[in-house]
Each structure stands twice: as C-alpha cells, then as structure tokens.
C-alpha cells in the first residue's frame, strides 16, 4: 500500500465521481461523514453516518454494509468525506474486508488528503 495526498486532476474520473456522491450525501443529510463505494461490477453505494441510540455506524461502514447486502463481494474503491483529521482504524479495516483497491479520505470540500492503494 502507498499513502499520499492527491488532487482531483490526478485521480481516476470514477473515483472523483465517488467523492461527489459522498459530498452530496453528507450535505443533504447534514451528517458528520459521507461515503461512497464502488463494487467489482461498477455499482455504487452511498451512505452517511448512522447515529441512533441502538446503532452507530460510520458512513463507510454503512456504505460497505449496503454493498454487501446487495451482493457485492469486493470493492474497487471507497471514499470517505469528513472534517475529521484522520480515518479511524475501523474504517480502514472495513474497507480491507472486501479488498478495496483504492481508499480516498477527503475534506468536506472534496480535496483528497489521503489516498491508499493496494
């Protein structure tokens, strides 16, 4: 794996689309985080943070759960848009559970601040 920052011009257009979807979902729901994932067939799944008294999921956990419950067996890419300074280990782990090829961590304005490739 390699870590680094990037700009949108250097990214795959399909990954940029995931950033747009995650940002839009986060803004629409007024959530702390937005996430979008793309599975092995190119389908996308979008989710925001779930914060209920009996259930708490990060946006990425929710997006991965949606993908898995729809039959995805692997992920090509995952994006998390958040104001947090870093991704928690649990998000990195859940992305790894499905062999995510690219994990992008971006600020609320869509600027990628961390890109992990496997």
- DSSP-assigned states of every residue in 29-64: HT-SEEEEEEETTS-EEEEE-EEETTEEE-HHHHHH
Q: So what's the pLDDT on residue 118?
A: 63
Q: Distance between CA atoms of 77 and 14, rounded to whole angstroms?
A: 9
3-state secondary structure of 3: strand
The candidate with the shortest Cα–Cα distance to 82, out of 109, 64, 62, is 109
The structural domain count of the chain equals 1
Query: What tokens does 86 get?
Result: 């870093």
0.95 exceeded by pTM: no
% of the chain at pLDDT higher than 70: 92
Q: Provide the domain limits for residue 94.
A: 2-117
pLDDT tens digit sequence for 85-108? 888 999 989 989 999 889 999 999
Query: What tokens does 14 get?
Result: 């399909």
Residue 2 has pLDDT above 90, yes or no: no
Instruction: Assign residue 15 the CATH number of its domain.
Output: 3.40.140.10
Q: So what's the pLDDT on residue 52?
A: 95
The candidate with the shortest Cα–Cα distance to 40, out of 98, 79, 94, 80, is 98
């Amino acid at each position: 794996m390699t870590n680094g920052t990037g700009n949108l011009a250097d990214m795959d257009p399909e990954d940029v689309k995931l950033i747009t979807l995650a940002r839009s979902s986060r803004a629409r729901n007024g959530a702390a985080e937005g996430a979008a994932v793309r599975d092995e067939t190119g389908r996308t799944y979008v989710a925001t943070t779930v914060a209920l008294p009996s259930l708490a999921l990060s946006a990425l956990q929710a997006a991965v759960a949606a993908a898995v419950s729809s039959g995805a067996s692997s992920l090509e890419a995952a994006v998390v848009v958040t104001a947090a300074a870093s991704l928690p280990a649990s998000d990195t782990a859940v992305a790894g559970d499905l062999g995510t090829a690219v994990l992008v961590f971006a600020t609320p304005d869509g600027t990628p601040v961390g890109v992990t490739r496997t």
